[in-house]
Amino acid sequence: MEHKSKAQLCKELGISTYETFVQRDNTFKCLRIYHHQTAIATIYDDGRVKIDNGGWYTHTTKKRINAILSALGLPYFIRQVQWEWYLEDRSGVTYPVGFGKPNWNGATPGIWFDTNTKALVL
């Protein structure tokens, strides 16, 4: 993954630079995109992507995650129905979203994708 400034990356992804922080992690070979203090996207050099809202079900978080999914060419988006978030693919298949619900060790699982195959990783 080539080095880009925060402004360049945000422009490519179609997200605002306001309260956005981008961090390169050379140990794990990934780029993390933060909204406030939450890593809403982790993009690995091998094509894997993890999205997570960290428990923040806000319009801005959803909008930024959807912009990232679109910019990466992933055929999915987050939609909200009566305060619940769902992941939907372009053919209309809907998956419940378990963002922000910690597993046994306190980590949130997020949702994983493969940008090489454009697939959701279940």
* Domain extent listing, the chain: 6-116
DSSP 59: H
> Taking residues 34-42, what's their average pLDDT?
92
Instruction: Point out the least confidently predicted range of 3-7, 28-32, 47-51.
Output: 3-7
* 70-94 tens-digit pLDDT: 999 999 999 998 888 899 999 999 9
In percent, how much of the chain has pLDDT > 90? 55
Q: What is the pTM of this model?
A: 0.86
Q: How far apart are CA 101 and CA 107, in angstroms?
A: 8
Which amino acid appears at position 29 of this protein? K
Q: How far apart are CA 16 and CA 6, in angstroms?
A: 10
Contacts of 84 (CB under 8 A, 6+ apart): 96, 97
Contacts of 88 (CB under 8 A, 6+ apart): 76, 77, 78, 79, 94, 95
Amino acid 51: pLDDT: 95
Give the residue from 102, 103, 120, 119 showing the smallest Cα distance to 111.
Answer: 120
